[in-house]
Amino acid sequence: MNNNLLTVTSPLLPPLEEFIPYLQKIWDNKWLTNNGEMHRKLERQLAEYLGVQYISLFTNGTLPLITALQALEIEGEVITTPYSFVATTHSIWWNKLQPVFVDVEPETGNLDPRKIEAAITEKTTALMPVHVYGNPCDVDAIQKIADKHHLKVIYDAAHAFGVKINGQSVLNFGDISTLSFHATKTYTTVEGGALVCHSAEMKQKIDHLKNFGFAGETSVVAPGINSKMDEIRAAFGLLNLKYIDGAIANRKRITELYRSKLQDVRGVRFLQDMNGVTHNYSYFPIFVDSERYGMTRDELYELLKTHNIYGRRYFYPLISSFEPYCEYTSARKENLPIASKLAIDVICLPIYADLAEEDVNRVVEVIKNKN
Ligand SMILES: *Cc1c(COP(=O)(O)O)cnc(C)c1O
């Protein structure tokens, strides 16, 4: 029996021999970091690939979130989602701002625009939604609220590399969007990330902030951080960009396979493609209705592990239940019924570009047979 270890994700690794010429170039240049040739090239190629105007590379996907809040000079309270990776809320904390949690939509797990206005106070200055699993938020409804209340919108688009709404990059909505290129993400530079903004002035400001605030050799204009991407990882990103379309096509095929094989399983829900959206198929979450399925999510999660299949409970626990945030009024479970339910129902199944069809079948058989 084929019982190899399956994890939720496996990194997109380009052929090693193709990486060597990039390294040779870096060695020839003797330029390892600080806006080198690879860095400049990757910014240009990503802007083109993603269909955005201004992009700045970062050393990971957390620092662009922190820097976005700093660059937009956000104060007071920031409305955000508990159904995300902790970095989303941590970025608010690092700016000494107050996160305010609002519940999510049951269909997507994205921040629910219908619930935002009730959480707005005179201290609210920004919204920080997340395109969970790469499914776009209701960007029009969110922008309407932001315009009405004069709020900035920062999208955590860590999952949304390459996602489009009616042909338009999802990164072009809101004031700033951020990406993560961590090894577990659909497109990776090992560690890495980026920030997308919509004016040359803002990009300039961001580029100063990610380089200690240096605006010139002898001038520091703000207390910036060091969040520069180095040449080796930029080169890795350039090479991986050649493979990303193929990787996303494979993920789509795997998603369709899962969907067709799981459609008759009682008590197991999964997400469908959204109208007009170009998806990246970055995750394949299932939501287990324990009563109808006959087993709890955690029982299924443990059962999968006995078959050497390691799913991930993204997102469980909710950010709002972690120690730094659990005492907030907005963190109360009564305030977040939908997110709380999704968090106890969800398992993200293995999905990555070179996941074999027989491995998908193996996962599905365990879910179907329940033993
Ligand atoms: C991965 C991720 C981040 C953080 O990215 P890093 O590159 O790991 O710092 C932020 N938000 C979300 C939603 C993520 O999934």
In eight-state DSSP terms, residue 77 is E
pLDDT at 1: 52
CB 159 near ligand 1, within 6 Å: yes
pLDDT at 106: 97
CA 261 / ligand 1 centre spacing (Å): 30
Integer Cα distance of 371 and 133 in angstroms = 28
Residue nearest ligand 1's atom 2 by CA: 158
> Residue ranges of the alpha helices (H) in the chain?
16-29, 37-50, 63-71, 87-94, 139-149, 200-209, 231-241, 244-262, 290-293, 297-306, 337-345, 357-369
Q: What token pair was written down for 351?
A: 């999905």
CB 85 near ligand 1, within 6 Å: yes
CB 180 near ligand 1, within 6 Å: yes
CB 62 near ligand 1, within 6 Å: yes
For residue 249, the one-letter residue type is: A
pLDDT at 2: 64
Strands (E), 138-260: 152-156, 164-165, 168-169, 176-180, 193-197, 214-216, 219-220
For residue 183, give Cα distances in angstroms to 8, 156, 164, 236, 318: 12, 17, 22, 11, 23
Ligand 1: which atom is nearest the Cα of residue 159? 15
Ordered structural domains, the chain, with CATH: 16-241 (3.40.640.10), 244-369 (3.90.1150.10)
* SS3 (DSSP) at 226: strand
CA 258 / ligand 1 centre spacing (Å): 25
Q: Please provide residue 59's backbone torsions phi and psi, each rounded to the nearest 5 degrees.
A: -80, -15
Q: Which of 95, 100, 103 is nearest to 73 (CA)?
A: 95
In eight-state DSSP terms, residue 175 is S
pLDDT tens digits, residue range 160-194?
A: 999 999 999 999 999 999 999 999 999 999 999 99
The total number of residues shown for the chain amounts to 371
CA 180 / ligand 1 centre spacing (Å): 5
* SS3 (DSSP) at 2: coil
Q: Which of 256, 362, 263 is nearest to 309 (CA)?
A: 362
pLDDT at 3: 78
CA 182 / ligand 1 centre spacing (Å): 7
pLDDT at 210: 98
Integer Cα distance of 243 and 12 in angstroms = 8
Ligand 1: which atom is nearest the Cα of residue 191? 7
CB 84 near ligand 1, within 6 Å: yes
Q: Which residue has the tokens 């006959």?
A: 294
Burial 243-274 (b: 16+ CB within 10 A, else e): bbeebbebbeebbebbeebbeebebbbebeee
Q: Which of 311, 284, 183 is nearest to 237 (CA)?
A: 183
CA 92 / ligand 1 centre spacing (Å): 14
For residue 331, the one-letter residue type is: A
179 in Cβ contact with 162 (< 8 Å): no
In eight-state DSSP terms, residue 127 is E
Query: What does pTM read for this prediction?
Result: 0.97
- Burial class of residue 224, CB neighbours in 10 A (0-12, 13-18, 19+): buried
Residue nearest ligand 1's atom 10 by CA: 87
Q: Which of 369, 130, 357 is nearest to 253 (CA)?
A: 357
CA 183 / ligand 1 centre spacing (Å): 10
Integer Cα distance of 371 and 302 in angstroms = 11
CB 158 near ligand 1, within 6 Å: yes
274 in Cβ contact with 131 (< 8 Å): no
Give the residue ranges of the chain where pLDDT is below 50.
none
CB 87 near ligand 1, within 6 Å: yes
Q: What token pair was written down for 85?
A: 């990776």
Sign of CA dihedral 230, 231, 232, 235: positive
